[in-house]
Copies of this chain bind each other. A is one copy, B any other.
Amino acid sequence: MPKDHSRPATAETYKRTKRTKVRIHQRADYARDTVHGILDDGYVAHVAFVHEAAPVVIPIFYVRDGESLLIHGSRKTRMFKTLATGVPLCATVTHLDGLVLARSWFHHSMNYRSVMIHGIAEEVTGEDARMDALWKVMEGIAEGRAAGSRAPNKQEMKATMILRIPLDEAVAKVRRGGPNDDEEDMELPYWAGCVPIETVHRSPLTSRSMQVDVDVPKAVRALETIGN
């Protein structure tokens, strides 16, 4: 029986493979919790695949579903047409957390949290499974959107492809903290430190086209408190 990637896994870590080995091994983290946490903090993955002998990398909205990412889009796009044939892909999610400014050029760096996934996407098929996956996608955009907007009709469902990217071969890469300057540079007359960078939600803007009297949903308003 094939693995159900929508279910939680039992092992606490992902296996380290040749492709997910990280050169600076102190920055690698194979713990599922770390990988999930980074994925759950993001909206956009950069998905790479090969098309006509050249790599292509495209930003796409995703939501994590257990041990997989769900992505969806028009069946007509090159990306979905290509990925559905089962070609190898790489998906990377990155949060830039800060600029690291050192006493030397060489030790300037970035603080970040990223996840890299290697694998092959599987199309989600079957009416119920597709509706369930899109429900999760909607809830990933903002809590309550699935029940808070019109579900797709037959035509819209038909036009949409849903792909599941399994989290079998995944690794997190994280850098935190201040600059790692060399001992002999510590007394140089240069400032060293960090500039934190954050991604924040602003107040929701109601569409000017609203013709009915509906309040901004609570969960949408609550987004503003995340990371502000």
A148 touches B190 (CB 8 A): yes
Partner of A145, one of B47, B108, B211, B216: B108
> Within 8 Å CB of A58, what residues of B?
92, 116
- Which chain B positions have C-beta within 8 A of A214? 189-191
Name the B residues within 8 Å of A8 (CB-CB).
none
A174 located at the interface, meaning its Cβ lies under 8 Å from any Cβ of chain B in the complex: no
Do B212 and A187 touch (CB < 8 A)? yes
With A114-B59, A150-B185 already in contact, the answer to whether A19 and B54 are too (CB < 8 A) is yes
CB 8 Å contact bits of A68-103 with B (1 = contact, 0 = none): 000000101110000000001111101010010111
Contacts of A50 in B (CB 8 A): 50, 55
Which residues of chain B are within 8 angstroms of A201 by Cβ–Cβ distance?
A: 195-197
CB atoms of B178 and A209 under 8 A apart = yes
With A54-B88, A57-B48, A99-B142 as given contacts, are A149 and B104 in contact (CB-CB < 8 Å)? Answer: yes
Contact at B195–A142, with CB atoms within 8 Å? yes
- The answer to whether B88 touches A105 (Cβ under 8 A) is no
A-B contact pairs, 25 of them (CB 8 A): A43-B96, A43-B110, A48-B48, A48-B57, A55-B90, A101-B149, A104-B150, A104-B151, A104-B156, A105-B134, A105-B138, A105-B150, A108-B149, A148-B191, A150-B185, A178-B209, A191-B214, A192-B207, A192-B209, A193-B204, A193-B207, A193-B220, A194-B204, A195-B201, A199-B200
Additional pairs, 9, CB under 8 Å, beyond known A188-B212, A191-B210: A23-B74, A49-B55, A54-B90, A55-B90, A101-B141, A106-B160, A191-B214, A195-B205, A198-B199
Nearest first, the 8 A-B pairs at minimum CB distance are A48-B48, A48-B57, A46-B46, A48-B55, A196-B202, A59-B94, A104-B150, A192-B207
